[in-house]
């Protein structure tokens, strides 16, 4: 299965969740998206604690930056707005533009979103799974 990794899973990895690295080492065809890279870096740079900020930036350099990444295409924005807007209107979550873009990319390339945010992606009709659910390691 081809995976596109969402920001929230990278946050789990950065926080030291051993299930993330275990899954990542065994997963086939993993990638992310440029919009996820930006979202992760925004969060990292916004952290007030310099130690945590540096840890996040190191995690980015060591793990996130090394993965293949999908860029957005102009049509992805149209699809993202429709997917996220319809999901919100129909009460199937509250996905934002980044979630919509990730869903549009995944649908375009035939990938599954690896995320903890199943409600919003399912609400947009996007294939998604939380690969960490069965990998809770002590």
User: Selecting from 3.30.9.60, 3.40.50.1820, 3.40.50.1010, 3.40.50.180, what CATH number does the domain 3-135 have?
Assistant: 3.40.50.1010
Indicate the pTM of the whole model: 0.93
Q: What is the distance of C-alpha 134 from the center of its chain?
A: 18
Q: Where are the domains of the chain?
A: 3-135
Task: Kindly indicate the confidence band of residue 1, based on its pLDDT and cuts at 50, 70 and 90.
Answer: confident
pLDDT digits (tens, 9 = 90+) for 115-138: 999 999 999 999 999 999 865 544
Helical ranges in the chain per DSSP H: 7-14, 18-26, 34-46, 50-59, 74-89, 97-109, 118-123
Q: What is the distance of C-alpha 35 from the center of its chain?
A: 9
Average pLDDT on 13-41 reads 94
């Amino acid at each position: 299965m081809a995976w596109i990794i969402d920001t929230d899973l990278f946050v789990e990895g950065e926080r030291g969740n051993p299930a993330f690295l275990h899954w990542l080492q065994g997963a086939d065809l993993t990638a992310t998206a440029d919009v996820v890279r930006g979202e992760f870096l925004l969060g990292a740079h916004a952290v007030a604690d310099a130690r945590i900020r540096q840890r996040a930036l190191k995690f980015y350099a060591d793990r996130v930056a090394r993965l293949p990444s999908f860029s957005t295409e102009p049509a992805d924005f149209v699809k993202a707005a429709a997917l996220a807007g319809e999901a919100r209107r129909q009460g199937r979550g509250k996905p934002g533009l980044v979630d919509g873009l990730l869903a549009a990319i995944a649908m375009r390339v035939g990938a599954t979103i690896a995320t903890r945010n199943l409600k919003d992606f399912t609400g947009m009709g996007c294939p998604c799974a939380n690969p960490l659910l069965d990998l809770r390691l002590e």
